[in-house]
Amino acid sequence: MRILLATVFNYPHTGGLSTHMTTLKAGLEALGHEVDTLSFSDLPYYKQQFFAKGPSMFMNRMAPGKGILLGHKLRAGMLKDLIKKHNAEKEYDLINAQDIYATFAGLDTGIRTVTTVHGYMTYEAISRGSIRAESPEAHLLQEKEKEAYQRTSQVITVDFRIKNYIEQLAGVTGVRVHNFIDVDQFEPQTERRNELRKKFGFSTEDKFIFIPRRLTKKNGVIYPAMALPHIQKTCPNAKVIYAGSGEDEASVRQICQEKGVTDSVHFLGDIPHEVMKDYYAMSDITMIPSVHSEGVEEATSISALEAMGSGVPVIASMVGGLKEIVNHRTNGLLVEERDVQGISDAVVELLEKPTFGRELAWNARKKIEEEYSHISAATKYASIYESVLNKAVTY
């Protein structure tokens, strides 16, 4: 099959959606399919600025929230034209849209389109502060969600909560294919820990807690910084490394300053996905401190899966899909969301009991190999694509 993975957002970028596209593409190509990607990033820079971002920013100043909707609509129209141009050369069998506005773009080209749903678009916009809760813009965006789910040929969701959400919102039954990772790329390399720390300029004596998350409210990134002073009472050489950017960065930095731990916290910003495996390997613990925020909860976190595949013990919040992949005290540790003392206790336990941490990490790697392989997931996706195309022939 010739398959196009499409999104109105930037690609590649830091975040689960971009990682999903990259890994799914690799899996499908390993199975012999031809796969391309198209995104907002493929448009000429002047078009991005003057025909989408500019009007969106102007509208948002005039009427907060309306600019977001306008921006998405403009991006969808531009992506549609881009798809048509590429389809004239490739003749794609199917488009796998990664968001609802890419769905509209795909449908408007007449190419059979399926939609992967990674989260709750409206609630996530509210959580970010892009749209006000219960505003006309929020209701309109949710109506657009409903329309996309009802018009697309097949909805695919990354966890059961999103599947249930779509059934309740749109009356559409999706197919759940949980998130996955490239198990060959993210594999244990902890024996390289000191080598990698020297490479990236970090101390071999410190104990690193790695947080590979976008710095946004729903990811709970403020809580590890709040817990660090408690952790350092027992483990004074404990440090926190954030990999990602976002609107909550200023709040995290302020907490670090108030708690007196600024020198013990590193902000890497956005780093290339292919480099992430090195940071997992050089860390002592990976933490996924997600929280409920404006109706949003974590799906099957790709960051958690990557850490588990990389042989690093994981501490995660007891929310959403994290509860499905982390079995407490078997392949990781779960803590209550926003529980600063619970985070501190979990970190200290793993740092003081490295043998227990290695046991958790070994069990986690085994689970990833058995259940979260990108080849296994790509096989499921290909089966869904074929089912949709076969139905199209019989109409």
Q: What is the pLDDT of residue 80?
A: 97
Cβ neighbors of 106 (< 8 A, separation 6 or more) are 4, 6, 80, 83, 95, 97, 113
Q: What is the pTM of this model?
A: 0.79
3-state secondary structure (DSSP) of residue 368: helix
Q: What is the set of domains in the chain, with CATH numbers?
A: 2-180+373-394 (3.40.50.2000), 190-371 (3.40.50.2000)
| 275 token code pair | 């480099």
- What does the alpha-carbon distance between residue 160 and residue 177 come to, in Å, rounded to a whole number? 9
Q: Are 280 and 312 in contact (CB under 8 A)?
A: yes
Give bridge partners of residue 116 from the DSSP assignment: 156
Q: What is the pLDDT of residue 240?
A: 97
φ, ψ at 222 (rounded to 5°): -75, -25
Nearest to 306 by CA among 333, 275, 337, 329: 275
3-state secondary structure (DSSP) of residue 244: strand
| 108 token code pair | 């408007």
Q: What is the pLDDT of residue 274?
A: 85
* C-alpha distances out from residue 283 to 39, 73, 243, 360, 366, Å: 33, 41, 12, 15, 20
Cα 62 to chain centroid distance, Å, stands at 31
DSSP string, 140-177: HHHHHHHHHHHHSS-EEESSHHHHHHHHHHH----EE-
Q: What is the pLDDT of residue 395?
A: 35
- What does the alpha-carbon distance between residue 181 and residue 20 come to, in Å, rounded to a whole number? 8
φ, ψ at 284 (rounded to 5°): -90, -30
309 class by beta-carbon count within 10 Å (0-12 exposed, 13-18 middle, 19+ buried):
buried
- What does the alpha-carbon distance between residue 18 and residue 25 come to, in Å, rounded to a whole number? 11
- 395 residues of the chain, pLDDT tens digit each: 999 999 999 998 767 889 899 999 999 999 999 999 999 999 988 888 887 888 888 787 777 788 889 899 999 999 999 999 999 999 999 999 999 999 999 999 999 999 999 999 999 888 888 899 999 999 999 999 999 999 999 999 988 889 999 999 999 999 999 889 998 889 999 899 999 999 999 999 999 999 999 998 889 999 999 999 999 999 999 999 999 999 999 999 999 999 999 999 999 999 888 899 999 999 999 999 999 877 677 767 889 999 999 999 999 999 988 888 999 999 999 999 999 999 999 999 999 999 999 999 999 999 999 889 999 999 999 999 999 999 855 43
Q: Tell me which long-range contacts 329-335 makes (C-beta under 8 A, separation of at least 24).
A: 329/360, 330/360, 330/363, 331/360, 331/363, 331/364, 331/366, 331/367, 332/304, 332/308, 332/360, 332/364, 333/360
Q: What is the pLDDT of residue 392?
A: 58
Helices (H), strands (E): how many in the chain? 17, 12
| 99 token code pair | 């968001």
Which segments within 52-167 are labelled E, that is strand? 94-97, 113-117, 155-157
